[in-house]
Structure formats: C-alpha cells, structure tokens
Amino acid sequence: MNQRKVFKIWGLMVLVMLLMMMLKQTGVQADKKPPAVMAEKGITLDISRKFYKSQVIKKFIDDLSKYPNSFLQLHMTDNQNLAVEMSAVGQTTEKNAIYQDGQWINTQINRPFLSKKELVDLVAYARSKNVVLIPEVEAPAHMQAILDLLKVNDPERYDAIKLPDGAPEQFNLIDYSKVESLKFVQEILAEYTPLFAGQAKRYFHIGVDEIDWLPVESNMNLVNYVNALDNFLKSQGYTTRMWNDRVAKADLPAYWTNVKYLDTK
C-alpha cells in the first residue's frame, strides 16, 4: 500500500472519530428515531338505541383489550332511551325502578338502564383490561328521553330549558342559549365525572351533533355553551370531546383548545 492511500484511510478514520465525538457531545443518537404516536382504536357502543347489560359490555371490553391504546365510548343517552341512572331527571334505583332479569327497569317508562354502581364496576373492569371507558351524554340535541322524564318529574325545570313555543318538536333540543339549560347539563355531567375518574386517560364526550335549530355559519351561543362545559370538565380533570358536524369554521378560534372534535363520518 503506497503512502498516499495510507494517508487517505487514516484521514477517513479521523473524520469518523470526530463525527462520533460530536454526536456524543450534542446528545444526538443517530440510530434512534422519535417514538411514533400510537393511534387510538375503539368503538362507540350505543346502549340507548340498543341496551346492553353490564356483563355484555364487559365482553366488548375484553375484545378491545387485545389492542393497545383502545377505548370504549359509552353512548348513554339519546332520544330512544336514557340508559343510565340519572338523578337530575328522577331516574334512580331507589324510586320507580325494579331489578328484573339482571337489569334495572324504570317503571314509569318500562325501559332498562344501568345503575351508577354498575357504571363504577365497568370503569374498574375496563381499567383492569387497560381499556379507557369514555362516557357520552348527548346534548343539547338528542335529548328526548331526558326531556320526557324531566317533563314528568320536574315540569318547572322542563319549562325553563325547553325551546321557545313554536319550535319544531322533532329537534329533541333544549334552548342552549339559556343559563338554566347550561346549569342543567352541567349538573348531569357532574353526576358522572366522579364515576369515570381514576383512569389513565379521562375523556368526556358531550355530543353537540345534529343541532338543526341554529344558523350554520356561526353561533356564539353554542360556542359559549361548549366552552362553559369544557371549562367545567377541565376543572374535573377531563378532556372534552364532541362531534364536529355543527362546528362552524368561523367559530373555531373562539373554542377552547382543550376540546377534541371528532368526525361524524
């Protein structure tokens, strides 16, 4: 090997050594990539339109536990049924209810619902399986089942939050521009925030989809409604989730950045 080749090899070795020293000093590790963000995998289980007993819900949780970063969103309320115990409208296990065939039945409307005790048990079970259980309360639309019970058990409060006379009844909507409506929904959320606490991740879904009684372009009453609920949920340690089909682009800067919008498609 001639002297020129020796100098070239020696120079290359020195260059490699210098680069290794520089990487070590700057803390850069060339062989490691930044950790990838793990995608969520989960389902929304609508127990309002199709009621499931807690034992069946646990089977869904078992299936989800096979996947990392998984969740089960429990769609607890809708027009068809209020599928959980709710003191705000008088649906409790202590009054107007019987336990029959492994489930609670509201004797006023003859429909099944999960007790709060069952919800706590489901949260504990999901946690043991590393599955996040997300409560969903549909509001300010999709509230017919809640409104029906409220009208019977607390007619004065029903009158305080309903839409103005003449509004189409099929919208199943409360007047979210009223302070009374906001207080009512916040009271409902407050019933469940303690029940779903203690999880590694805490999300609460507040609905906000298919609100037909509003202008599409912009609606600051809805913005204020969402922000107030988000502020409350943050104070309880939750991240707010909502559907995005009624989020006007013009209003986006006015929403709290904490809110996560979920595509309804």
pLDDT at 226 over 70: yes
Q: pLDDT band for 254, please (50, 70, 90 cuts).
A: low
What whole-number distance in Å separates Cα of residue 235 and Cα of residue 237? 6
CA 45-46-49 angle, 5° bins = 155
DSSP the chain: --HHHHHHHHHHHHHHHHHHHHHHHHT--TT-PPPPPPPPEEEEEETTTS---HHHHHHHHHHHTTSTTEEEEEE-B-SS-B-B-BGGGTB-SSSSEEEETTEEEETTTTEEEB-HHHHHHHHHHHHHTTEEEEEEEEESSS-HHHHHHHHHH-HHHHHHHBPPTTS-GGG--B-TTSHHHHHHHHHHHHHHTTTT-SSSS-EEEEE-----SS-SS--HHHHHHHHHHHHHHHHTT-EEEEE-TT--GGGGGGS-TT-EEE---
User: What CATH homologous superfamily does 33-262 map to?
Assistant: Glycosidases (3.20.20.80)
Indicate the average pLDDT of the chain: 86
Task: Say whether pLDDT at 23 is over 60.
Answer: no
Q: List the catalytic residues.
A: 210
| Residue 30 banded pLDDT, cuts 50, 70, 90 | very low
Q: What is the predicted pLDDT for the residue at 170?
A: 65
CA 92 – CA 115 distance, rounded (Å): 8
d(CA 110, CA 124): 28
pLDDT at 44: 96
Give residue 164's pLDDT band: very low, low, confident or very high (50, 70, 90): confident
Q: Which of 51-65, 110-124, 161-175, 188-202 has the weakest average pLDDT?
A: 161-175
Note the pLDDT of residue 253. 61
Most confident of 93-107, 160-174, 238-252: 93-107
7 — pLDDT class (breaks 50, 70, 90): very low
Q: What's the mean pLDDT in 186-197?
A: 98
* pLDDT-based confidence at residue 180 (cuts at 50, 70, 90): very high
- The pLDDT assigned to 21 comes to 62
Return the pLDDT at 167. 76
Over pLDDT 90: what percentage of the chain?
66
Let me know: does 144 contact 169? Beta carbons within 8 Å: no
Question: Residue 199: is its pLDDT beyond 60?
Answer: yes
Q: Does this model's pTM top 0.85?
A: no
Most confident of 105-119, 206-220, 231-245: 105-119
Can you tell me the mean pLDDT for 12-19?
55
Residue 25 has pLDDT above 70, yes or no: no
Q: Tell me the average pLDDT across 166-195.
A: 91
Average pLDDT over residues 77-88: 98
Residue spans per domain, the chain:
1-31, 33-262
pLDDT(94) > 60: yes
**Mean pLDDT, range 65-89, rounded to an integer:** 97
